[in-house]
Amino acid sequence: MSGLDNKVGKLLRPEVLALSAYHVPDAKGYIKLDAMENPYSWPEDMVAEWLERLRGAEPNRYPDPACADLKAGLCQANGVPAGAELLLGNGSDEIIQIILMAVAGPEVTILAPEPTFVMYRQIAVSLGLRFVGVPLREADFGLDLDAMLAAIATHRPAVVFLAYPNNPTGNLFEAADIERILAAAPGLVVVDEAYAPYADASFMPRVLEFDNLVVMRTLSKLGLAGLRLGFLAGAGAWIGQFDKIRLPYNINVLTRISAEFALEKLPVLDGQVRCLLRDRAVLAASLAQFDGIRVYDSRANFILFKLLKHDAPQIFQALKAAGILVKNLHPAGGPLAQCLRVTVGTPEENQRFVEVLRALLG
């Protein structure tokens, strides 16, 4: 170990040193079906109008810290009930970080079913918090409600995260099970609705019905991943406290103007979502026809499938060699062993993926 490595090792917390950085593979030149993005660009006339709107940006000035017009547009577009307030974040990742910074302290526990969105654990551990993962049912990745309630009773978590639909499995948990968790949890329950446009289910209309519920969403899956904009909806008592931790000017001027513009063009984005819902059904049906593949039901813009007769890492590498990126979930082990996840792309991208996979599986 070098002198610099030794100094770093002595200064930084052990939990940080033990972490692995979140890796994003280079996607240049690939059919990109690994990151749950909307594959559709904006129409040319919409792009021209957007660029004209950006002419009004003042990058020499600090951005609007309140973003009142943007919040109003988000509330209207997402059915946020009257009386709820919003916290904006640089993607939902920053919101998760803000929530966990607010509750950080000795022996604080964060709880979530697993497998789920990796950043719940990653951020909790980076802040020195204790993270407890409760295994989902292996058969269908549903919530093991008895295990969840037992873990809540034992660990008394400050925060419970529930991805709805879940990532990377794509399924929706039973609403009645979430209600039981809300009733049992001594702390905050964060329902993460990142994939709400594709799910046809939401706790957003009920966010004020429970005094320990907040609902988190992002614009990334709708088609605005490059803007990095997420938001948290909930009672003002929660949002006001979290806002104290939010860094000033966390939403830059280009993101604000672009998001406000996009919300004015929701019919375009909604049309793209309808296309993806149609193509999700077609892609799932195509995968289900393969011998030796188990396809899991998805209410998101991706599909999880398990290879029953082939080695997932080998198929992943072969797809990559053919110019197609999917997500290899096999390294996570457990119920995700031999699993791959494919984002729903354009019809042409989906067809190419299916053709290559058919050839690889023989």
Give the Cα-Cα-Cα angle 17, 22, 25 (nearest 5 degrees): 135
The DSSP line for 128-175 is T-EEEEEEPPTTT----HHHHHHHHHHH--SEEEEESS-TTT-PPPPH
CB of 344 closer than 8 Å to CB of 350? yes
What is the rounded distance in angstroms from the CA atom of residue 102 to the CA atom of residue 276?
37
**Quick check: 110 and 161 in contact, CB under 8 A?**
yes
* Distance from chain centroid for Cα 196: 10
In a domain, 96, yes or no: yes
Number of domains comprising the chain:
2
Tell whether 232 and 285 lie within a shared domain: no
Q: Where are the beta strands (DSSP E) in 181-254?
A: 188-192, 213-218, 230-234
Domain boundary among 264, 296, 311: 264
| pLDDT in the model for residue 247 | 94
pLDDT digits (tens, 9 = 90+) for 212-228: 999 999 999 999 999 99
Q: Is residue 1 part of a domain?
A: no
User: Which helix (H) or strand (E) covers residue 87, if one does?
Assistant: strand 85-89
Task: Judge if 331 and 354 occupy the same domain.
Answer: yes
Where in the sequence is the domain holding 349, given as residue range(s)? 11-42+267-361
Q: What is the pTM of this model?
A: 0.94
Residue 48 domain flag: no
Asked whether residue 87 falls in the same domain as residue 134, the answer is yes
The tokens of 329 are what?
């979930």
Q: Are residues 311 and 201 in the same domain?
A: no
State whether 163 and 302 are in the same domain: no
**CB–CB of 207/87 below 8 Å?**
no
Whether 4 maps to a domain, the answer reads no
Helical H segments across the chain, by residue range? 3-11, 14-18, 44-54, 68-78, 91-103, 118-126, 145-155, 175-184, 236-243, 253-264, 266-288, 312-321, 347-361
Is the bond preceding residue 115 a cis peptide, omega within 30 degrees? yes
- Give residues with Cβ within 8 angstroms of 340, minimum separation 6: 304, 305, 307, 312, 315, 316, 326, 327, 328, 329, 330
Residues 179 and 158 in one domain: yes
Q: Minimal CA–CA distance to 131: which of 122, 141, 144, 143?
A: 122
Domain end position, chosen among 231, 264, 297: 264
d(CA 23, CA 284): 27
Q: Are residues 19 and 82 in the same domain?
A: no
Question: Which of 264, 296, 314 lies at the terminal end of a domain, its last residue?
Answer: 264
Could you tell me if 340 and 300 lie in one domain? yes
pLDDT at 1: 61
User: Is 140 contained in some domain?
Assistant: yes
Residue 355: left (phi > 0), alpha (psi -120 to 50), or beta?
alpha
Domain CATH number, residue 94: 3.40.640.10
Residue 26: inside a domain: yes
* Alpha-carbon separation of residue 16 from 108, 118, 177, 226, 323 (angstroms): 17, 15, 34, 27, 34
282 and 173 within one domain: no
Q: What are phi and psi of 150, to 5 degrees?
A: -65, -40
User: Does residue 3 lie within any of the structural domains?
Assistant: no
Q: Mean pLDDT of residues grouped by 10 in the chain (362 residues)?
A: 81 83 76 96 97 96 95 98 98 97 91 97 94 95 98 98 98 98 98 97 98 97 95 98 96 97 97 98 97 96 98 98 97 96 98 98 88
Same structural domain, 199 and 320: no
**Residue 47 falls inside a structural domain:** no
Query: Which residues, listed in sequence order, are joined to residue 177 by a DSSP beta bridge?
Result: none
